[in-house]
A and B are shown apart, each in its own frame.
Chain A
Amino acid sequence: MSQATTMTTGARPAAPRRAGSLGDAVFAGACQAAGAFVLLLLGGIIVELFIGGLPAFRAFGLPFLWSTEWDPVSEVFGAGVSIYGTIVTAVLAIIFAVPLAFGVAFTLTELAPPWLRRPVGTAVELLAAVPSIIYGMWGFFLIAPLMAQYVQPTLIDSLGELPGIGGLFQGPPFGTGILTAALILAIMILPFIAATMRDVFEQVPPVYKESAYGLGCTTWEVMRGVVLPYTRISVAGGVMLGLGRALGETMAVTFVIGNANRITTTLFGPGNTIASVVALEFGESETGSLKLSALLALGFILFVISFVVLATSRYLLRSRLKG
């Protein structure tokens, strides 16, 4: 068989090449055009968002980034609250999701019997296929009432009195709010982080692990002393990937975050994110209005934040992606 392969390869340069030279050129051109198209599209979107947002940037200047005003009636807009909400919910989601994802990946690569790994792995990946509107409805109709009736009152009574962190757990138990949004987001980004972690854990050369086991290490010691140090940069890349997803999530967050343009110290308070503000306000913004411009400016800011996060993730994951 290997001989046959060599023969075909050997025979190739002669006849078909001349006939295909035009085809080759067309194909190469088409592929390059496709590649360039993506770059142009990306650049076009950035430029378009920036131009659209320019009137807002002009009107409010740099303070647009941290101003907490959002008053459509008197046309004063600021991105402060939505940037704060976007970052806080995404970071909280990471805090909830990473330990869970680590547990999933650890189970799937080291603990679970091989026959169980496939179904559990598939189930986790299927979480990524659930449309975000479903998460939104589930969060609003199921999780928010549970939070309002049980979780939030309990937390308010137990942790709300503590000095320092007590401030995080106060206020009326609406059910919706920053915390609920972060929890829903955590579940949504879990499959991305867990899948990355599982993949990189599996890439640890077995010889390292077996040497450690040979020295008498327990499974946990192998994980902590060999697997994690070997993969930590890729793991961080996977976490950034999840963060990127969490920053731009719109529909599910809109349902449960409470949608108020206020920065509250408590985790139960309502807030908003860039994506939720844009989704909610877009339908009622007239062409040429300052409000529409402010929304486009918000879109530009979100684009920049996501771009930075995803670029970092690609940078950290580069060794794994090459492999």
Chain B
Amino acid sequence: MHRRQLLASASLLAAGTAFGGRAFAQGGQVTGAGATFPNPVYQKWAEAGRGATGITVNYQSVGSGAGINQIRNRTVDFGASDAPLTPQQLTEANLLQFPSVMGSLVAIVNIPGIEDGQLKLTGELLAEIYLGKITKWNDPKLVELNRGLTLPNLAIAPAYRADGSGTTFVWVSYLAAVSPEWKEKVGVGTSVRFPAGTGARGNEGVAGTVKNIRGAIGYVENAYAVSNKLVTTQLRNKAGQFVKPTHESFIAAAQSADWNAPGMAASLIDQQGATSWPIVSPTFILLPKNPTDAERSRNVMKFFDWAFNNGAQLATQLDYIPLPKPVQDQIRTAWKAEVKANGQPVWNG
């Protein structure tokens, strides 16, 4: 499997080199900066798309906040953010916002004797754990949910992302959606004041902490949990069903979202549907509505147009969720209507 992927990317590289000369003539360079969450898929798309579109995409995963700063100052051609900007922020900075891909978060645990997908949790209990109110794994509330399992008398050690990150934003959005107490006491942001637990740097830091500490619980992106074979849990969704983190449950969540929200900022958190995974989130691209260089702006749209048409499989391989077809069309319409240079639409595809 791994070998086949290597071969695939090697042949892609070769293709890129072969068409390089021609491609460079019609293509160009675009730069983007921002969110770290979608970075693996953007890099893969950039690598695969270079051969087909001739556009070299240079994406730097510097963090959503830094990406927003850079696109506000127009030092890059597009910005990327996990947390959507508000309509007011978009108007102030004269930016168009559209989703590019979706991802999901999972809870990971380290409890002796508990294997992948066995432990059942609810959002309310997760919130209480992260608020420091449930402190033992054999708490009656946890035992009642998991009658088939023997939960040890072990302290719960919640681990969280210490660096400001979109992953934290999605995670606390979920906790705030299901727990009024979390919403009131902690709130939502890319970094928040966690009342309990220990912080670690990056996905690998959280995963490492959970591996090191017996009784630890943490949250990471699903792609990261899959590739590192971490012990994930089931979660109860809005319909009251316990679901495992699978591609099907992510797709189910994506289908019931409302993409007509302002700034296309659909919330996929805690969606309806019997099989929906509750923590799914889109990540966003920010594009100036009045590009100074129309050519580069057009190239950004060309690149994402290519990615929407051809990148679904690459995204799925990396455990991301491609956007549904109607949403892609909605985005193309928005490009045409809103991004203009000298009064003319930049995108005419």
Contacts and interface: CB of A to CB of B under 8 A. Distances in A.
Contacts of A285: 65, 164
Contacts of B191: 72, 280-281, 284
A255 B205 contact: yes
Contact of B197 (A69, A260, A284): A260
Contacts, number: 94
B127 to A, nearest CB: 15
Interface in B50-71: 62-66, 68-69
Interface string A288-318: 0000000000000000000000000000000
Contact of A259 (B64, B65, B199): B199
A258 to B, nearest CB: 4
A304 to B, nearest CB: 25
Nearest to A75: B189
A140 B197 CA distance: 16
Given A72-B164, A261-B193, A280-B162, A286 B68 contact: yes
A283 B66 contact: yes
Interface in B202-223: 205, 208-209, 212-213, 215
Contact of B193 (A70, A175, A258, A280): A70
A174 B69 contact: no
Interface string A66-97: 00011111100000000000000000000000
A260 B163 contact: no
Given A148-B213, A175-B213, A255-B205, A73 B189 contact: yes
Contacts of A145: 212
A69 B200 CA distance: 20
B198 A260 contact: yes
Contacts of B331: none
Given A280-B163, A286-B65, A287-B69, A260 B199 contact: yes
Contacts of A177: 198
B190 A140 contact: no
A15 B192 CA distance: 73
A248 interface: no
Interface residues of A, number: 33
Contacts of B73: 287
Contacts of B87: none
Contacts of B62: 283
Contacts of A140: 205, 208
A148 B191 CA distance: 26
Contacts of A234: none
B101 interface: no
A177 to B, nearest CB: 8
B212 A148 contact: yes
Contacts of A259: 162, 198-201
Given A72-B192, A281-B191, A284-B66, 6 more contacts: A74-B187, A172-B215, A272-B162, A280-B164, A280-B201, A284-B64
Interface of B: 62-66, 68-69, 72-73, 155, 157, 162-165, 186-194, 197-201, 205, 208-209, 212-213, 215
22 contacts: A71-B193, A73-B187, A73-B189, A74-B187, A144-B212, A175-B213, A176-B200, A254-B162, A258-B198, A260-B194, A260-B197, A280-B191, A280-B199, A281-B191, A282-B66, A283-B63, A283-B66, A284-B64, A284-B165, A286-B65, A286-B72, A287-B73
